[in-house]
Amino acid sequence: MGTQPVLLVVLQCPWKRGKLQKWHPAVWRKEFRASRTGTCLFREVLPLRLYRIRFANANPLLADMPSGVFPPDAAHIKRRIRAVHQNIILVCGAVAKESLRKLVPGVPIVLMPHPASRSLSKETTKKIKKRLVRRHSFS
């Protein structure tokens, strides 16, 4: 069996949560996993057995609160894309999807509402997961 395809999950931007007061990848992973966004993705959306999951934020700046939003940083996203070598991209939220199609032509992109959106339904997350599973067969 070959290596698993890589799924790059592009999020909007991190915020100062718990111990994450300045950027630190290990702290971010722990805080992210416990966040509303992380909980939704890991429990309902990501087909963890099919892909190696990598994450990128559309902007590396830390917001002061969950509602904080920064415009996408194209240079930052390009660096992450070059580093990850993804087979498919899951874009979470409107901020993250801006200009992403132009940055990675030819790479399949699946769009979804922000995972912490209160209007995101279980039906929608189930459909997104099915799309990711279907795309896996083409990787």
Residue 21 CA to residue 82 CA, distance in Å, equals 27
Q: Per residue in 85-94, pLDDT tens? A: 899 999 998 7
Q: Which residue has the higher pLDDT, 98 or 58?
A: 58
**Residue 20 pLDDT:** 63
Give the C-alpha distances (Å, rounded to integers) separating 11 from 2, 17, 139: 28, 15, 22
Q: Where are the domains of the chain?
A: 6-136
* Residues 128, 135 contacting (CB under 8 angstroms): no
**Residue 133 pLDDT:** 95
At 1, the pLDDT band (50, 70, 90 cuts) reads: very low
Task: Report phi then psi at 8, rounded to 5.
Answer: -95, 120
DSSP track, 6-67: EEEEEES--B-BTTBSS--HHHHHHHHHHSHHHHHIIIII--TTT-EEEEEESS-PPBSSTT
Residue 81 CA to residue 58 CA, distance in Å, equals 11
Cβ-proximal residues to 111 (8 Å cutoff; 6+ apart), any chain: 91, 97
What's the CATH number of domain 6-136, 3.40.470.10, 3.20.20.70, 3.40.50.10280, 3.40.50.300?
3.40.470.10
Tokens at 124, concatenated: 């929608």
